[in-house]
Structure formats: structure tokens, C-alpha cells
Amino acid sequence: MAVTTVLTPSTAEELAGMLREATASGRRVDVVGGGTRSRAGRPGPPGDVEIRTGGLRRIVAHEPQDLTLTVEAGLPVTEAVALTAGAGQDWPQAEVRDGSTIGGVLATGASGRRRLRSGAVRDSVLQIVIATGDGRLVTAGGRTVKGVSGFDIPRLAVGSRGTLGVITQVTLKLWPLPEARGWFGAGGGLEERLALARAAVTGAGRPTAVILTPGRIDVELAGPPDDVVPPPGMEPSGDPPAPVGTGVVEVGVPPPRLGDLSVLLEDEGFAYEARFGVGTCLVAVDDAAGVARVRSWAVGLGGHAGVLDGPDGLREDPWGPPPPGLALMRRLRDAFDPAGILNGRLVPWA
């Protein structure tokens, strides 16, 4: 079996050149950021070439007064967060994980726990530069905090898992760091915790996160110190634990149905993290049967479930049935990666 060639470009132009080359020679390319979300997609042989984006890590512009940050996509997300925190600012939409790159967070559309108040990570992207499969460097959006100049390629790129192009640079919209922030939680029976979760989501306290895990509910509050105090029935707590298993499935259901899903999961002994008010839930699974079960519940509740992370055996059917618009998705893929060289295992329903 041929050995995968590893390439580490240090500029966007260099990366684009590699893609032009790969398109011309028909070589399949895998793109890797920090590699923290790489156990995804269909199982299959690796590409002929692996491009690592870690060399693209310049901070292009940090404009604290404008609350914008322009960086190359291979920059570790923790470095970006430290930089912005130093200016009293935050990127609250992102799921920040050790070792992840900014480009990886965006390519996987990894929204964090604070989505309840701050929105999805795709809403924080102002401008994006991608190298298309055939090596064109395309800039889309604008660096101002608001703008509707032309077609919204940034929204297509976020969550597309590098199958339309490789994100090389982004401009992010930042927010002021809250004065205070803190987690509060409680144990108790499921019914009791569900009632607390619903009250927290609809209450005036506007929590940044309401997280249900087996046996626990935890709520994060942020704002002036007077607001960051335990809600009735809760005690100061910490970041709730993420579910750990052989693999993790990410479920999306209409937010009011998340309680029903939690009941099923808790009854059957699954470890999970349900994000109330948002409608997403991470579930630890140990085998393909577990994936299928969680998916059938999700679909029954009007949602979907995809394998976020797991070994090959869990990913024979990583996404379940395709949503409407598959033909459109294929035409978009052809428009951005005409030779179909990029991240073949991650192309939705290829």
C-alpha cells in the first residue's frame, strides 16, 4: 500500500499550489488541522496526500476596538482565545479543545456549550479565505462586523469538513468577556432536573448554558457579579463532564424534544450531555448498535444523529439518511472541488 505523503505548507499560496497539483494529478488529499476531530466520516483508506495546516498560524490582524480577529486557520484555538482574553474579549461560540486549530473548529462547525446565549459558531465568522479543491484562493464575506456583500460562502464553508475547500484564513467577530462567569448545579431525579432545565432556559437569568448529564443539571451564568449567584435549588459547581465512550454521537432535535431524548438515554444507561434550549446532545456509544439506537430515537423525535468521533466500526453509516438537497450539495461540491480530491471520506453521502 502506498505511503501517504505528508505536506506542511507555510503559506496559503503554497497550500493552494499543492491542491492545484493534486487536482492535476488526480491525487486524493486529506486535510488535517489539529487532528482532534479526525475520527469521523466513512471508514476507508487514507488519501494519497495529507496536508497539515499547522504551518498557517499567523495572526493577521487583531483589532480590539473593532472586536475582530483575523488569523490564519492553522492557529491553535487556545492561542487565539488567550490572545483575545488579554484584550478582555471572547469567542464564545466555539468549542475550544486543546490541540484544535481555528480552521478545524470551523470546518467541523464545532459550536460550544455557550451556544444557548451566543449562537452557533457559524454566526461568528465575518470573512473566510478558502483554497478550493482545484487551488483557487477565494475570499468571501468582509472584515466588518456586519455585511451582506454577495453570496454567503462563509456559511457554506463552516461545517463542510474541508470537502469544498481548505479554510486558510478567517476573520472572527468577538464579544466582550463577561465580568463574571460561573457554573451552578444540582443532582436529583430526572423529572426534577428537567423542570430545573426548563425553568433555566425560559427564565430571566439568560444562562449561557443549561446542561443535563446523567444524574446532574448544571447551568452557567455570566454577567455582572450580582447575576452570577446560585439559582434556587442549585449550588456552585464546575464544568460538567463530557460523555466518554468508544465513540460519541451528536444528536440534533427540536429543542422542546430534548427532555424526551434525555429520558430515553437515562433509562437505557447512556452517558450524555444534553444542551437545553439548543437541541443538541452528545451521547457516548460503544458499538454500531448503540449508534443505530440513538439515531432511531433522534429521528423519532424529528431530528438526526451523526457520529462525531469513533473508530471505523462505528462509522459504517456516519450520518444516517441524507436531508433534502443532496443533489444541490453535490453540485456545490463540483463547483468548489471539480476533481473531487478533498477529504473523500468526509463528503456527505458521496
Partner 1 sequence: MSTLRDPFERLLDPARVIDHALERRLYSRDGSIAQGDCGLVVLPETTAEVAACVRLAGELGLAVVPRGSGTGLCGGAVPLEGAIVLSVARMGAILEIDPEVPCARVQPGVLNLDLTTAVRHLGLHYAPDPSSQQACSIGGNVATNAGGPHCLASGVTAQHVLGMEIVLADGEVLRLGGTAPDPPGYDLRGFVVGGEGTLGVVTEVTVRLTRDPAQVRTMLLDFPTVRAAGEAVGGIIGGGVIPAAMEMMDQRMTIAVEAFVHADLPVDAAAMLLVEVDGTPAEVAAHVAVVEEVGARTGARRVRVARDEAERALFWKARKSAFGAVARVAPNYYLHDCVVPRTRLIEVLERIEAIAAEFDLVIMNVFHAGDGNLHPLIAFDRRDAEQVERVHAAGTAIIEACVAVGGVLSGEHGIGLEKRDFMPLTFSAVDLDAQARARDAFDPEGRMNPAKVLPLGSRCGELVLDAGSLPPGTWL
Residues from 270 through 289 that contact partner 1 (CB under 8 A): 278-280
- Residue ranges in 17-56 that form contacts with partner 1 under rule CB under 8 A: none
* β-bridge partners, 186: 217
* Strand 165-173 versus strand 180-186 pairing type: unpaired
> Quick one: which segment of 7-15, 26-34, 150-158, 232-240 binds partner 1 (CB under 8 A)?
150-158
Among 13, 24, 26, 136, binds partner 1 (CB under 8 A): 136
Among 1, 2, 148, 244, binds partner 1 (CB under 8 A): 148
CB 153 to partner 1: min, Å: 6
Among 189, 224, 232, 269, binds partner 1 (CB under 8 A): 224
Residue 199, C-alpha cell as written in the block: 425553568
Q: Could you say which DSSP state residue 163 is in?
A: S
> Quick one: which segment of 29-37, 74-82, 186-194, 224-232 binds partner 1 (CB under 8 A)?
224-232
CB 165 to partner 1: min, Å: 9
How far is 186 from 231, CA to CA, in rounded Å?
Answer: 10
Our finding on whether 324 is near partner 1 (CB under 8 A) is yes
* Strand 29-32 versus strand 49-52 pairing type: parallel
Our finding on whether 331 is near partner 1 (CB under 8 A) is yes
In the numeric block, the cell 464575506 is attached to 141
Our finding on whether 314 is near partner 1 (CB under 8 A) is no
CB 125 to partner 1: min, Å: 11
Our finding on whether 177 is near partner 1 (CB under 8 A) is yes
Q: Are the C-beta atoms of 299 and 283 separated by less than 8 Å?
A: no
In the numeric block, the cell 444562562 is attached to 207
How far is 332 from 140, CA to CA, in rounded Å?
Answer: 15
Among 112, 247, 320, 344, binds partner 1 (CB under 8 A): 320
Q: Could you say which DSSP state residue 207 is in?
A: -
Our finding on whether 226 is near partner 1 (CB under 8 A) is yes
Helices 258-267, 190-202: axis angle to 10 degrees equals 160
